[in-house]
Structure 1
Amino acid sequence: MVIREAKIADAKDLLAIYRPYVEETTITFEYQVPTLADFEKRIKQTLLRYPYLVAKRAGKIQGYAYAGVYKSREAYDWSCEVTVYVDSQAKACGVGSALYNSLEALLAKQGIYTLTACITAGNEASLRFHEKRGYEQVACFPKIGYKFGIWQDVLWLQKTLGHPPQVPTAFVPYPQLKES
């Protein structure tokens, strides 16, 4: 398996992985599948600040992971939200773990100390996956989302990368990290 940075040209394959999550699950709260142009824009926007990674095996993209802003205020620069999606044919094959291993390593180099993950309650596979990786549930927001005719609870999980220093080093945007 090869883990590499996502390219705009990957958007079609990534969208194919994401589509069933939108159409068939409450894992994402989107009602409509994004357009290819919207998905391309999301990749570009993410790469301005954070890594966006894909896992490829036997010539096929099997999953992707990325980080995003937890909150836009400067005081949150050392925290981010992480997300992973795996092709239904590649689940439980180590794709998600390989993606998160690479993503977390890059985020640590950027000066990120706190990772958050937002999971719809009832998504036991994702909850177990994150708990195995050291994430702990820190919040539950009851009936905060509505999809498929049912109110959904949302869980927030958190993981700390190392021990945050008394005064953090400056956050390094992903493009600067790649240059160094």
Structure 2
Amino acid sequence: MIRPTCEKDAAALARIYAYYVEKTAITFEYTAPDTTEMERRRQEISQRYPYLVAESDGKVVGYAYAHAFYGREAYAWSVESSIYVDVNIRKHGIGRKLYEALEKALKSMGILNINACIAVPRDNQDPYVTN
């Protein structure tokens, strides 16, 4: 089930995101934010853009959101998207379902461009794990 986030999701958002901060280079952060910080971010982003979670058996297993792509007025109809899926449940189509729901919500807002900043490793190692 895909639904908008709420305050009770903050701990799950922090848990999912922590893996990517601590074990990969894709977040561009060095310290995983705690539940309070994730809730602050969720509230800030949710004021203007969709912030969605994927739920399975009552447990949050992934999330997606969009935020301003660039601060200039000409970019008002462009966003940057982020999607994170619980590391233990990857490759089950959750990310795709989140993206499709996010895209639909953004389209209804009149957003024309969805951008993603993607970090790619330099070799053939697992793209989700850093040494």
Note whether the superposition's TM-score is higher than 0.5.
yes
Q: CA deviation at 1:73?
A: 1.5
Whole-angstrom distance in 2 between the partners of 1:18 and 1:41: 14
Q: CA deviation at 1:74?
A: 1.6
Unaligned runs of 5+ in 2: none
Q: CA deviation at 1:38?
A: 1.0
Whole-angstrom distance in 2 between the partners of 1:97 and 1:82: 13
Deviation string 1:86-116 (CA, Å, 9 cap, x unpaired) is 0011101010011011000010011111110
Q: Which has the larger radius of gyration?
A: 1
Deviation string 1:103-149 (CA, Å, 9 cap, x unpaired) is 000100111111100011229888xxxxxxxxxxxxxxxxxxxxx79
Instruction: Tell me the C-alpha RMSD between the 2 structures.
Output: 1.9
Whole-angstrom distance in 1 between the partners of 2:18 and 2:119: 17
AA at the equivalent of 2:81: V
Q: CA deviation at 1:18?
A: 0.7
Q: CA deviation at 1:35?
A: 2.1
AA at the equivalent of 1:75: A
The residue aligned with 2:11 is 12
The residue aligned with 1:36 is 35
Q: TM-score, normalised by structure 2?
A: 0.91
> Alignment partner of 2:117: what SS?
strand
Consecutive aligned runs of 4 or more in structure 1 exceeding 4 Å deviation: 123-126
Per chain length, whose mean CA-contact separation is higher, i.e. which structure has more relative contact order (CA < 8 Å, sep 6+)? Answer: 2
The residue aligned with 2:23 is 24
Deviation string 1:148-174 (CA, Å, 9 cap, x unpaired) is 79xxxxxxxxxxxxxxxxxxxxxxxxx
> Alignment partner of 2:26: what SS?
coil
AA at the equivalent of 1:49: R
Whole-angstrom distance in 1 between the partners of 2:11 and 2:116: 25
Give identity over the alignment, percent.
Answer: 43
